[in-house]
Amino acid sequence: MNILVINCGSSSLKFQLINSESEQCIAKGLCERIGIDGSMITYTPAGGEKEKNVTPMADHTDAIRLVLEALTNEKTGVVKNLDEIGAVGHRVVHGGEKFSASVVITDEVMAAIEECNDLAPLHNPANLIGINACKTLMPTTPMVAVFDTAFHQTMPEEAYMYGLPYEYYQKYKIRRYGFHGTSHSFVSKKAAEDLGKNYEDLKIIVCHLGNGASVSAVKNGKCVDTSMGLTPLEGLIMGTRSGDIDPAIIEFLAHKENKSIDEIMNILNKKSGVLGLSDNLSSDFRDLEDGYFAGNENAVRTMKTFCYRVAKYIGAYTAAMNGVDVICFTAGVGENGPLVRSMVCEYLGYLGIKLDEEANNKRGDDTVITTPDSATTVMFIPTNEELAIARETVRLVK
Ligand code: AMP
């Protein structure tokens, strides 16, 4: 069965068509600037040339129409007609406390996703628009929602509660939810599989280090803690997000810089992280690595602070699980950044970790980067959220 995986943002839409038997991506692409001048679709069939077309897209329904046209195009398409698309899997950012697993989309499910809009005002409405657009154009094709928060719903109360008046949890459901759940789930399961061990017997820490970054603790196959919170702003220092800060800094800065809460939040989300910390050198770790090796002091400070924070979370989650068997690095930096991995592992001597420098410098598929006598195994595993969404979709529609 071919599964169309859709990841819809407010003005963009990423898609992949995945064959569920071979688990190969047979075409992928991106619609950008939806509803804005200069809308553009990029489409790449597997093994074919990348095509870029600037073409008007008034809304997400227009965008999905163009995606379906590209997939069924006589020359460069990969399917004959829409009947060859068996189901659609939608990435949905926030499932609140309502969704602890993926679900087949019904009218009731759409209403429940809408009820979570308050918790992710930038993302959930866009996800719903994408679902509605697909329903309009493919009314009989089954659809599944796969939530970024679902994997973390197994966290115990002591991990998800904040030290705030309890009434705010009761009234507004303010608590830790966590994100990147599809990736944390995929990578932790893959680690167990690669090592030939039983997922339910392991204590695994996953460090998803991309432009957004989060750590999770997975004990006996269940997430017991994660670093992102009510929103993706908490936890690690990210590309442009601050991660953990003293909440009093918000008031302090608002007074000193004469800024509104919205302006401060914009700084914390878009102008902080490694970008802000490096005095605007870059939010891209490739530039920061180059700067680090060249002795640029902004890059050195940023790399050290970023890696220290990751190591601190690994320590916290080792305590939370009373030990750790496997540490996995994933996402853009985690998969491709040997420097970050080795700088983090330098803090982890107490776990008996012995890094294999040669393995750490490799790129590509899943790799163990510790020596055979290392007391804890460290690996890098490329994440594949689209494949994870396709697998969930097939599981629920079959
Ligand atoms: P993601 O959000 O998972 O797509 O990750 C994006 C980030 O991965 C980029 O901002 C880069 O900083 C980082 N990245 C990608 N390739 C490399 C690389 N070869 N070395 C270090 N960092 C990389």
Task: Give tens-digit pLDDT for 164-184.
Answer: 999 999 999 999 999 999 999
| Cβ atoms of residues 310 and 224 within 8 Å | no
Q: Whose CA is nearest to atom 4 of ligand 1?
A: 332
97 CA to middle of ligand 1, Å?
Answer: 31
Strand segments, DSSP code E, in 210-262 are: 213-219, 222-226
Please say if the pLDDT value at position 100 is more than 90. Answer: yes
Establish whether residue 382 lines the binding site of ligand 1, counting it when its CB lies within 6 angstroms of any ligand atom.
Answer: no
In a domain, 165, yes or no: no
- 121 and 202 in a single domain? The answer is no
Mean per-residue pLDDT for 139-156?
97
Domain range for 296 is: 196-380
Nearest CA to ligand 1 atom 10: 284
Which of 290, 333, 362, 380 best tests ligand 1's pocket when mutated (most atoms within 8 Å of CB)? 333
State the residue for tokens 């803690």. Answer: 225
User: Do 253 and 137 share a structural domain?
Assistant: no
Number of independent structural domains in the chain: 2
| Helix, strand, coil in percent for the chain, rounding step 5 | 45, 20, 35
Same domain, 55 and 203: no
Rounded alpha-carbon distances, angstroms, from residue 310 to 120, 227, 299, 326, 333: 25, 10, 17, 15, 12
Average pLDDT over residues 149-173: 98
Are residues 356 and 237 located together in one domain of the fold?
yes
Assess whether 37 carries a catalytic annotation: no
CA nearest to 27, candidates 12, 14, 19, 16: 16
Q: Is 137 in the same domain as 242?
A: no
Residues 293 and 352 in one domain: yes
pLDDT of 122 higher than 90: no
pTM of the model: 0.95
CATH number at residue 350: 3.30.420.40
* pLDDT at site 7: 94
pLDDT digit string (tens) for 297-351?
Answer: 999 999 999 999 999 999 999 999 999 999 999 999 999 999 999 999 999 999 9
Which tokens hold the place of 17?
A: 């068509």
105 and 247 share a domain?
Answer: no
User: Which pLDDT score, from 0 to 100, does residue 121 have?
Assistant: 86
Which amino acid appears at position 383 of this protein? T
Q: Summarize the confidence of residues 45-59 as an average pLDDT.
A: 94
Q: Could you give the 3-state DSSP secondary structure of residue 218?
A: strand
d(CA 10, CA 207) in angstroms, rounded, equals 27
Which helix H or strand E contains 15, and what residues bound it?
strand 13-19
pLDDT at 9: 86
pLDDT in tens, 221-264: 999 999 999 999 999 999 999 999 999 999 999 999 999 999 99
In short, whether 211's Cβ falls inside 6 Å of ligand 1 is yes
Computed over every residue of the chain, the mean pLDDT equals 96
**Residue 267 φ then ψ, to 5°:** -65, -45
Per DSSP, helices labelled H in 178-296 are 181-195, 248-257, 261-270, 273-277, 285-293
Q: Are 245 and 214 in contact (CB under 8 A)?
A: no
Does residue 153 form part of some domain? Answer: no
Band the pLDDT of 116: cuts 50, 70, 90. Answer: very high
What is the 8-class DSSP label of residue 110? H
Cα–Cα distance, 332 to 329 (Å, whole number): 10
286 Cβ below 6 A of ligand 1: yes
Q: How far apart are CA 216 and CA 127, in angstroms?
A: 24
* Residue 10 confidence (pLDDT) above 90: no
Q: Is the same domain home to 223 and 139?
A: no
pLDDT of residue 291: 98
Taking the CA of residue 283 as reference, the ligand 1 atom at the shortest distance is 10
Number of helices (H) and strands (E) in the chain: give both, helices first.
15, 14
User: Do 133 and 242 fall within a single domain?
Assistant: no
Q: Tell me, yes or no, whether 9 and 126 share the same domain.
A: yes
Q: How does 151-168 read in b/e, with b if 16+ C-beta sit within 10 Å? A: bbbebeeebbeeeeeeee
109 shares a domain with 247: no
391 located within any domain = no
